[in-house]
Amino acid sequence: MGHPTQIPPPLTPTFLKLTFPSPRVVLVTMDRPSAMNCINAAGAEELSAVWTWLDEEPNLTVAVITGAGDKAFSAGADLKEWSQSLQPGGPERRVTKSKGVGLSRRRGKKPVIAAVNGLALGGGTEFAVNCDLVVAAENASFGLPEVTRGVAPFAGALPRLIRSIGLQRASELALTGQRISSRQAYEWGLVNKVVSQKGVVQEALRYAALIAANSPDSIICTRAGLREGWAKADVEDAVQTTMDNEFAELQKGENIKEGLKAFAERREPRWKPSRL
């Protein structure tokens, strides 16, 4: 069975599985359940390649990422591999060219939804912090235990956490190394919705389908405006940046004409792949 994309997906033989559960949506599953879906160097390269492909693939609008098994979303970096690389004569630790394995520090064009099905530790939490929406299972938990292992959360979560949940809550999470439950993460504003473990992927896919039903151009432009506002201190500067770039391109495309025409004609719009 083929894939519904114009550009073939990157090869992901060791860490990821890609499926296409509904139009314009890709489900990305981290598939190392025996290792709590922790991310080794090979897995980091696969993740980086997938997010680059997502932004380039015209037939996709949104991605959902989850973990295989019933224990972990992701336990973060492969600490055993990292430890071996620090030993005399040990293998060199490869670092992916894309910062933060292409997600923790990803800017990108298209939204990614996290379906957190279990433990999200270290890089797993950093993934969730930078995702556009987060759906979490009732049994899921989040944590940045790096300080308990002599390392530090370097993949971009710290400044993003401050903007999302505030300095004091971010400090509690990062400086103590303690975990918080999905319910507490929801109360803090880190999670959009808490559901049963059985329903977490389906709920994330429901959000994805709602997003994918809209204009691909508008999704890219709107997300850019949200991200500019999140990343920059000056609100007007963020607005103007999006106006000058994504919104200017949106107005040149066919989807804006189609959306307005469909409204006037009282019918559903027929979107074309994004030109942004």
- Judge whether 17 and 46 are in contact, CB under 8 Å: no
Percentage above 90 pLDDT, the chain: 72
**What value does the mean pLDDT of the chain take?**
90
Residues with Cβ within 8 Å of residue 204, at least 6 apart in sequence: 64, 66, 113, 114, 115, 133, 135
What phi and psi, each to the nearest 5 degrees, are found at residue 36?
55, 30
**Catalytic site residues?**
126, 146
What is the chain's Cα-based Rg? 19
pLDDT of 179 > 60? The answer is yes
* pTM of the predicted model as reported, rounded to 2 decimal places: 0.89
Buried b (16+ CB within 10 A) or exposed e, 105-139: bbebbbbbbbbbbbbbbbbbbbbbbbbbbbbbbeb
pLDDT single digits (tens) 121-139: 999 999 999 999 999 999 9
* Topology classification of domain 16-212: 2-enoyl-CoA Hydratase; Chain A, domain 1 (3.90.226)
pLDDT single digits (tens) 165-178: 999 999 999 999 99
Q: Where are the domains of the chain?
A: 16-212, 216-264
Cα–Cα distances in angstroms (integers) from residue 233 to residues 105, 149, 230, in the given order: 18, 33, 8
